[in-house]
Every structure is written in structure tokens, then in C-alpha cells.
Structure 1
Amino acid sequence: MQKLAIVGGGISGLSLAYYLQDSFEVSVFEKDKWGGKAYTQKVGNYLFEEGVNGFLSNSPKTLELCEKIGIKTIKANENSKIRFIYDDKLIKIPTNPFEFIKSDILSLKGKLRVLKEFFIKPVCDKEESVEEFANRRLGEEFTKRMMVPMLAGIYASTPAKTSMNAAFPKLKKIECEYGSLFKGMIKLKRGGQPSGDLTSFEWGMSEFIEVLKSKTKANFIKKEIKSIDELKEFDKVVIATESFEAAKILGGDIAKLLEKIEYNPVAVVGFDFDSITPKGFGILTTKEKTLGILMDKYIFPHRNGIRLMLGGARYPEIKNLSEEEILEIAKKDIYKIIKNANPKIEWVKLHKNAIPNYSLGHQKLVEDIINEAKKRGVYLLGNAYNGVSMNDCIKNAFDLSQKIKDNK
């Protein structure tokens, strides 16, 4: 049986190992902790996720994998549908057209500008930033009120720094196929909310990682791979690390390409208070150093606390601060936003390289990276290339497993 090395034991690397365990003798190398940023920290009676807290149940591959490994999934409760934006005041995000009309999420002028989207000509012959796309189709007020917080919540980025084509390819495809986002969504019978239910695991993401690892036949090796030369004994090699780590391992021309992918820093702060309102999924902000507040305690069991996400492309200086300085910012922001003070618990996790930024030119850069990897005889996998969500990581791992089997 051929030998396969996977460098990186996060969601992507472990999923790939599972898919290929019957076709290869698999060895997975991880220098830190299994699951990477998909890790649940237990602090007393609290569970705090260091990164992602679940997935949307609109991806067959993720649900299929959960079923195959025999892990029970749990859907977020009805509070998860209640979401807010903070822009000097709390504003509930409308969930349907009627609520949108009544809401103060936009001014009357802003709402009328959004309705013009039906008549805006599509642009399909060039790449745009999210800011350019949203301004053109929906107006500057919509961009500021809706897209700025949404980009902070998904990519810890800003609309100006993010490629629409790379970050939201499905929306770009709808524009080009139907001529309008609204026309496309009407024909596809979609609303404004993300499709699928927010789904996780009773004891957090670490439960998923532990079960997936237990159901995978592989050699799990705690070791940092510093050079591709260390893996000469393997017939096939997959680098499933962050792109900057892949650059160090591979070196040469491909390293220069990999190093062009930027990462945004994020600090995750866990709090709890005697009383917290509003109840809901969370709050995204338009300009604060705190990008958003996730009300985990109101949507999943055993979480008990809330989490704040700070920094991102909006405030990259977060990566140079101490835990005490991060906590001070978080306390000021949470008091400003929801008037809570004197937390019962404080917890901090700083990711200096949290989420890859899909900048303008990202798709072409990834194409060049993959072509260079082919020349080197290696495969690349991870959220730096074609999607950052848990669903993306698992689907991309499955797709790569089929490709590797076909090239066996």
C-alpha cells in the first residue's frame, strides 16, 4: 500500500486522512494540537470555542461525514435567528422583506437605493472588491451598515480588502446568471438569511475532532515538519497547514506565492455576567475594535458564556497587545454596546494569524500556487485557498481525496 503524508492535523487534514484511510497508509503530522483552531477550551463550567463554533447544515458532505463517524449533531435553538448590528445603537437585523421595510436598519433613501438593485447591470468581466460590488449593486449606505459588519464576522476583514469573486463566488454567479441578486434569489426561492441551520456538537468542536480522529486509521505523529525533505519516504504528500507554514516547508518559488496570502489577527475573549441582553445569536459592529459578540450561552448547551472577537483587518494592532490590554478593550466595548460590566469570568485566546484574507487577485494567486505545487509533486489543502468555513474545509478535503485516488 502506498504511503501518504499529511502535514497539518486541523479539520482539513484530519478529514482528508479519514477519506483516504482505506486507500493509503496514512501518517498525519501535527506540531501543536489536533484540530488546530477548531478547539474547545473548558474553563470551569464554561466551554469557549477558540475558533469556529459550528457549521450551517446546508452542506451534504459535512452532514454525511458526521453520520459516518457516528457523532450526534445539535441544531442551534430559535435564538440563533435573532441577530443585531451595533452602529452607535443596537439594530435588529430584519429576516424578511416586511421587517426590512419597517426596520431602521437603513434610511428611506438607503432602502430605495437597495430596491434599484433590480435594474443595475451585472459586471462579469472583471474582479471587484466586496466594497465595489456592494456600492454598485446596493448602495454605499447598505455597504456601511450591512457589508462592513458581515465581512468582519466571516473573514475578520473589510469590504475594501476582500475580493467579491473569491469570498462570495456564489453571489457573483447569481448576479451574472440572473442579472440581479434579487431576481436570482426570487427564482432560487432564497431569502436574505443564510440557508441551513446553525449546527454544532454537544461538547463543542473538540468533540468532533476527537471522534473523527478515533474513527481514522492513521499514524498520528506529534512533530513539526520543517522541510519537505523530511518526507522523502512517502509516495504522496499533502500540506494542510496555514499557507505561511506551507511556504516554510516547501521553500523555493512556491514559497514566494504562498507568502502573498495575508492573515488577519483575532483575539477571542470569553466573558459571563449575571444578566446579559439581548438574547440572540450575536451582535456585529461597524467600527469598534470588537468585531462582534457571540451569545453562545443562548444558542447551544453547555456554553454558559459569551465570546467577543477583536481585531481583524479593522484593528490588526491587536496581535501586539498583552492579554491585559485585550481584556481592557473588550470590557470597554461590551459596556458601550450592551452596558455590561464586572464579568464573572475572563478568558483570552489570541490568534496572531487567525483567518486568511481573500484579497483582490486571490483566485489567480491560488491558481498559480496549485500549478506550482503540481510541479513540486505535492498537494495543498486548507482554508487559505478555496473557502474558510468548516463546510468548505470538509468538502475540499473530500474533493482532494477523490483526485488523489484517481492519481494513485
Structure 2
Amino acid sequence: MEVMCRAASFPNYPLKKVHFPSQRSSGANACRQSRRGTRKGPLRVVAKEATMAPSPPKEGNENAMYDCVVVGGGISGLTTAHALTSKHSSLVKQLLVTEATDRVGGNIITVEKDGYLWEEGPNSFQPSDSMLTLLVDIGLKDELVLGDPNSPRFVLWKGELRPVPSGPTDILFFDLMSFGGKLRAAFGAVGLRPPPPGREESVEEFVRRNLGDEVFERLIEPFCSGVYAGDPAKLSMKAAFGKVCRLEEKGGSIIGGAIKTIQESKNSPRPPRDPRLPKPKGQTVGSFKKGLTTIPNAIANRLGDKIKLGWKLLAIKKNSSGGYALTYEIPDGSISIQTKTVVLTVPSYVASNILRPLSVTAADALSQFYYPPVAAVSISYPKSAIRNKCLINGELKGFGQLHPRSQGIETLGTIYSSSLFPGRAPPDRVLLLNFIGGATNPDIAERSQSAIVSAVDRDLRKMLIREDAAAPMTLGVRVWPQAIPQFLVGHLDLLETAQGDLRDCGLEGLFLGGNYVVGVALGRCVEGAYESAEEISQFLIKSFSK
């Protein structure tokens, strides 16, 4: 729920729907089941020299040769394909994107009906320069809408929705924390706190040690629910919030690291900002006039017939001369295609099944990532149903609210969709997007739709909605059985194990992508896709350019 997490400078998450059934292909393992040791290095698979003569692909031609096949038509796969065809077109002349379902966009689902427009997966994105560059390049600059950066975010504490500080000047005056808690956080931030334990810390351990109990319990714990729908006692600080973790490593404290980072940026100035890009003000989030499906649809329109829907990858085989043969089940039968490179942007559990015949070690590592269930519940009330104390000048204003697990509320958080972006609900109604479930409440997947809506409505009546208000209008209930990859303690080691064994097995030119690799925020998936495209292009230069 990015709209509520920006105050802590933490990313949002995209809810991940299961689009790929369990896949397992047969065949002999291509390499040993254990590795000689962990090798550190970039995410790109290191290449060996090889040569291969390209031939233009033709529909149904099993001898067709592609420069790259992107497996998965979600935001990671589509952006990777866009970057390859727009920025590396001299190297990637023949490209294919394959998607097992009948639509692109993956977990991005926007619905418009009866005057409402709502999201059933990710709801917004942070307007970083990488994201804005993509939007400008695909012609969506005029469709962009941004939330009001001055809109408050709230956290429930002791029965009241309390505003979160939006900047340093607010810290002294907000009532979410006590004076003692603020003082403890200040001392810890400058380095007056216990030293690091010399091992990988969970988010809870890191925050309690550096900033104190109140910061964790009243700010970070609910933000972890909003970002990952996760358990901060198990989430890895290094993997989930690496930028903050590295500040302490760099400067001896969070403040010391921030000062060093600022000094380094002054000594190494960035290139001039692209003048085409919009200039968002403050900490805000973005979407489009017609919702988030605008972006995958725009990329798909540009890629055209390079996208194949209903193509389920069954097996990958490494060719002795270099490159890969991919076998697909397609709507009218099956097909095998040849490609120099492959990037898997599917969930880790799908990648695990596909890769098992090639690398048991990599497959086992990828199978250990956990995706808990989450339900996205869109409901509407009349404006008169909002409690008076929650109104600002007679209106519900703000980005939304988060609920610490300690406060007896089952719902993770609520986004004020109709307040955040225009045109999301009729004038006399409010539209609320609620998230419930996650790592601390996995039983949500077993409940009925009516039971889920009742739980959300019951929670909202404790702090936002009048107790005597009429029942809400239910617009959409989307239960994602395997939603968000959890970056648990040990996540980065598992990822390195998988990538390292692919290198050891000689699977050069096979890349892993997607949110479990780069991060769960929608904007981070876009950034990671551009990084993947650069790695693929460098591999092609090294291995196949004459």
C-alpha cells in the first residue's frame, strides 16, 4: 500500500496473483546437484564465448531464432521487453514475450463500473525518474495523475487515527509517539544505541536497536504490513529495506550514513535530469486517469505481435552450440522455439519448476520463497457514513490508514481511493480499498467473500465509519492465494545460491527477473527491468556480436 508508506520512504508492493500453474518438465539434470561454493557477483549470468547465426523468426517455425524470449507478461516482463526493443534494438532485433494467461499486466487489474474505478492489485507507484522515463517513452505523460503530497497518512493507535509526520518539521508535534520515544529515536539515529550484532538482522531487530520500541511498534510494524503484508520479526532488513540498512554500515549510524551519502552525491554529480520528465512535488504517488492497467496495455500495444498470450512454458533445454530451446503449450497445440537468451520474470515457484531439470540446487532455492495470501477489498459508503472527526472541511482527505497488529484490527490498512485520485467514485460516495491477510493471517484465503467483507466493515466501524451506517456496497473482492514474495532473513543468500548454481551449470544467457529478485515495489520492478535489459544486451555483445 504505497500511498501510506511513502512517509517512511519505504516502497510499495504489487500484489502477485498466481497466473502459472505448477509446471514440471522431464529430462536429465544438466549439472550436479550441489555447488562448490557461493560465488558473489552481479545478477547477470556470466557468459562463455559462443557463435550462432540468426534467422528471422516465423510464426510456427520451430527453427526460428530469437535474440531474447521474455517469459511472463507482467510489469517486469513487459518493461524488460520495452527496454530491449527501444534502447537495445541494434542487438535485440528478434524478441518474443510469452504469457501463460489470456491477458498482459499480471497482478495489475483495474476495473471500471457504475461510476467507480478501482484497483484489485497494486494501487499506485512512486513517481521515480525511472518510472517517469518509461511513462514518457510510451506516451503516457498526459495520462499521469498524482496524489496531493500534502494529504495526511494515518496510523491507528489507541482507538484514534493519528497523522504520520510528513517531514522533519512535523516530528516534534505529532502525537503518534511520546516525547520519550522521539528522544530515543533521535539518540539512536545519531549512533547512541547498541552495536550491530554481526549477523543478518530482521526488520524488527534493526529498528528496535536503532530507533527504539515506539518507532517499531507505531510506525515500522504497520508499514511492513503495508509494504509486504509481512511479519517484521522474520523480514530481512538487508533484503527488504537495504538502503536504510546500508546507511548504518556506511556511516556508523543512520544519520552518519545519510550525511556521507549526501557528500558522495555532491562529489559525484548525476547527469542532467531528462527535461521531458514531469516534476512531482513532495512525497506523492502516481496512477493514470483510467487506472494502472493503462501502463501494461500501452507497452503491449507498442510490442504488438511480439507478445503471445496463452503460451505456457513447459521446458527449457540448453543447446550444445549455445542458446536454448523452449517448448510451449499453445492454444492450438505445442511449439518449440530457439533463442539466444531467456529471462524468466515469473514467480519464483514457477521458475523453480521450470529450472529443476537444469539445476536442482537453483530450483530448491527458488522454491523456498514464501508468498502469503492477501485479499484486496474495494467497498463504497455514502459520504455521510464517515465519522465527523475523520473529516477535513467536510471531506474525507488523505492517502489512507495503517493498522498495527497490536491494535486488535484484522485489516492491514485502507486506502482512500476516491480522495487520492480524481474520478474514482460518484460525487456523493467514498471508495475505500482495503487489504487483509498476509503472513500473520494466512487463513484469509479460506474465507468466503461475504466473510471477508464483513471483517473489513467491522474494522472500519471502529475508527472511520459510523457504527449506525448502512452496509457498504461491495465492488470487488480479489483474493490472491500467493500474493507478495516475503524477503525473509536469508532471502539474499537463497537468491545468490540460485543464481550462482545457474552460473556453475553453464546456463549462461538465462536470467532471473521479477519482484522476488529486485524488490516488490512497482517502481522497483520497472527499475529492475531496465537493469535486466542492460545485462542481457551486455551478454549479447560479449557472446554473439561478430
Deviation at 1:67, TM superposition (A): 0.9
Q: Counterpart of 2:371 in structure 1: which amino acid?
A: Y
Given that 1:18 and 1:217 are in contact with CA atoms closer than 8 Å, whether structure 2 keeps it comes out as: no
Q: Distance in 2 between matches of 1:24 and 1:262?
A: 37
1:349 to 469, 478, 481: 478
SS for the counterpart of 1:271 is strand
Residue of structure 1 in register with 2:518 after alignment: 386
Alignment match, 2:493: 364
Give 1 or 2: higher helix fraction.
1
Deviation at 1:292, TM superposition (A): 0.4
Q: How far apart are 1:79 and its partner, in Å? A: 6.2
Where does residue 74 of structure 2 map in the other structure? Answer: 10
Larger CA Rg, structure 1 vs 2: 2
TM-score (norm 1): 0.93
Please state if 1:93 is matched with 2:164.
Answer: yes
**Which residue of the other structure, out of 65, 71, 85, is the alignment partner of 2:140?**
71
Call closer, same or farther: CA 1:255–1:27 in 2, change over 3 Å: same
**Contact 2:151-2:397 at 8 Å conserved across structures:** no
> Which residue of structure 1 aligns with residue 303 of structure 2?
216
Q: Secondary structure at the match of 2:483?
A: strand
Contact 1:175 1:181 in 2 (8 A): yes
Letter of the 1:284 partner, please give it: L
When the two chains are superposed, the root-mean-square deviation of aligned CA atoms in Å is 2.2
Counterpart residue identity of residue 70, structure 1: G
Q: Distance in 2 between matches of 1:384 and 1:336?
A: 35
* Letter in structure 2 aligned against 1:35: G
Conserved 8 A contact 1:38-1:51: yes
Q: Structure 1 pair 188/195, CA: closer, same or farther in 2 (3 Å)?
A: farther
Q: CA deviation at 1:121?
A: 5.6
Query: Per the alignment, do residues 324 and 227 of structure 1 end up closer, same or farther by CA in structure 2, a change over 3 Å counting?
Result: farther
Deviation of the 1:143 alpha carbon: 0.8
Which range moves more in the overlay, 175-184 or 347-356? 175-184
Mapped partners of 2:149, 2:434: distance in 1: 18
Q: 2:339 aligns with which of 212, 234, 238?
A: 234
Q: What is the DSSP-based 3-state SS (H/G/I as helix, E as strand, rest coil) of the residue aligned with 2:520? A: coil
Q: Distance in 2 between matches of 1:330 and 1:76?
A: 27
Q: Which runs of 5+ in 2 are unaligned?
A: 1-53, 55-64, 263-280, 317-325, 328-335, 391-395, 426-430, 541-546
Is the 2:153–2:163 Cα contact (8 Å) retained in structure 1? yes
Task: State the aligned residue count.
Answer: 404
Give the structure 1 partner of residue 49 of structure 2: none
CA distance change for structure 1 residues 20 and 218 in 2, over 3 Å: closer, same or farther?
farther
8 Å Cα contact 1:292-1:308 kept in structure 2: yes
Per the alignment, do residues 331 and 79 of structure 1 end up closer, same or farther by CA in structure 2, a change over 3 Å counting? farther
Which amino acid counterpart does residue 66 of structure 1 have in structure 2? L
Measure, in 1, the Cα distance between the counterparts of 2:207 and 2:495.
Answer: 24
The answer to whether the 8 A contact 1:57-1:196 is kept is no
Give the whole-Å Cα distance in 1 for the aligned partners of 2:415 and 2:201.
30
8 Å contact kept, 1:243–1:258: yes
Per the alignment, do residues 238 and 133 of structure 1 end up closer, same or farther by CA in structure 2, a change over 3 Å counting?
same
Alignment partners' CA distance in 1, 2:502 and 2:119: 33
Deviations 1:329-377 (A, max 9, x none): 1111111231244213432011111110000011111111112333334
Verify the 8 A CA contact 1:226 1:248 in the aligned structure 2.
no
Once the two structures are TM-superposed, the CA of residue 75 in structure 1 deviates from its matched residue by 4.1
- The 1:90/1:353 distance shift into structure 2, 3 A limit, reads same
Residue 384 (structure 1) shift: 0.8
Alignment match, 2:94: 25
CA separation of 1:24/1:258 partners in 2, compared to 1, >3 Å: closer, same or farther? farther
Kindly provide the CA deviation profile for residues 168-201 of structure 1, in whole angstroms up to 9, marking residues without a partner as x: 1111111122222234446667xxxx97531211
**What TM-score, normalized by structure 2, do the two folds share?**
0.70
Q: Which runs of 5+ in 1 are unaligned?
A: none
2:285 pairs, out of 198, 212, 215, with: 198
Deviates more, 1:33-42 or 1:178-187: 178-187
* In structure 1, C-alpha distance between the alignment counterparts of 2:175 and 2:459, rounded to whole Å: 23
Q: Secondary structure at the match of 2:517?
A: coil
Q: 1:280 aligns with which of 398, 402, 408?
A: 398
Aligned to 1:155: 228
Query: In the alignment, is residue 261 of structure 1 matched against residue 334 of structure 2?
Result: no
Is the counterpart of residue 123 in structure 1 residue 196 in structure 2?
yes
| Compared CA separation, residues 26 and 157, structure 1 to 2 (3 A) | same
Distance 1:166 1:348 in 2: 30
Q: Is residue 41 from structure 1 mapped to residue 173 from structure 2 by the alignment?
A: no
Shift in Å, 1:238: 1.4
- What is the DSSP-based 3-state SS (H/G/I as helix, E as strand, rest coil) of the residue aligned with 2:162? strand
Partners in 1 of 2:131 and 2:495 — Cα distance?
A: 24
Paired residue secondary structure (2:131): helix
Residues 1:164 and 2:252 aligned together: no
- 1:28-61: CA deviation from partner (whole Å, max 9, x where unpaired): 1112231111121223221111222222123x22
Distance 1:393 1:132 in 2: 27
Partner of 2:29: none
Superposed displacement of residue 27, structure 1: 1.5
Q: Report the equivalent of 2:446.
A: 320
In structure 1, how many angstroms separate the alpha carbons of the residues matched to 2:285 and 2:218? 23
SS in 2 for 1:235: strand
Overall identity of the aligned pairs, in %: 31
Q: Residue by residue, what CA displacement relative to the aligned partner does 1:207-236 show, whole Å, maximum 9, x if unpaired?
A: 111111112255211222233251552222
Q: For the residues of structure 2 that align with 1:322 and 1:250, how far apart are their CA atoms?
A: 35
Residue 353 of structure 1 aligns with an amino acid whose one-letter code is: Q
| Deviation beyond 6 Å, 4+ runs, structure 1 | none
Q: 1:296 to 1:187 in 2, by over 3 A?
A: farther
In the TM superposition, residue 80 of structure 1 has moved relative to its aligned partner by 6.1
**Corresponding residue of 1:310:** 436
- Which residue among 434, 455, 459 is the counterpart of 1:333? 459
| Cα offsets for 1:248-267 (capped at 9, x unmatched) | 22224122111111112110
Q: Secondary structure at the match of 2:230?
A: coil
Task: For 2:298, give the aligned amino acid.
Answer: V
Q: Deviations over 1:293-338 (max 9, x none)?
A: 0011111122222200001112111112121221111111111231
Q: Which residue of 2 aligns with 1:105?
A: 176
Does structure 2 conserve the Cα–Cα contact (< 8 Å) formed by 1:7 and 1:29?
Answer: yes
